[in-house]
Amino acid sequence: MSRETLLDQLGKLRRFILVGLIAAGVDIGGMQALILAGLDPLAARAISLPVAMLTAFILNRAYTFGASHRSPGEEMLRYGLVNAASAATSYAIFAGLIELVPGIVPALAAAVGLGLSMWVSFFGAQFFAFGKRRQA
């Protein structure tokens, strides 16, 4: 890997992490607001997570990876699939921690799930959702 390619990848990772932190704020902040409004933590997270995913899509498309050379519909579908895998990973870790660790703070469980699922999202977005179309 050339130095230029490595620097480009590190720049994308840095922007991806920044976007992820913003989306995590939307996710955890929304979840906490819904919990304060009386929702169960699992239901609150099921609502806040898709809102955070939409936030991440918009910012990653504009700021991190740019648009792919696919149709907007195909790009959105691919991004949705990546985020479904990432969300399933994040939610499974979150739910497991809520169920298995007595007294864990829901925000901490969500943060752990987000941190571990970040890698599914980064590589999926870079190579599948926003990656260049292969020539046939």
pTM of the entire predicted model: 0.73
What is the predicted pLDDT for the residue at 9? 86
Which residues in the chain land under pLDDT 50? none
CA distance 87 to 135: 30
Cα end-to-end distance, the chain, whole Å: 25
What is the predicted pLDDT for the residue at 66? 85
What is the predicted pLDDT for the residue at 16? 93
What is the predicted pLDDT for the residue at 56? 85
Write phi, then psi, for 49 (nearest 5 degrees).
-65, -45
Asked whether 41 and 34 are in contact (CB, 8 A), the reply is no
What is the predicted pLDDT for the residue at 53? 83
Sole residue written with tokens 């819904």: 34
How far is CA 111 from each of CA 2, 7, 16, 21, 114, rounded to the nearest angstrom? 34, 27, 16, 10, 5
Q: What is the longest distance spanned by two Cα atoms in the chain?
A: 54
pLDDT in tens, 74-103: 887 898 899 899 989 999 999 999 999 999
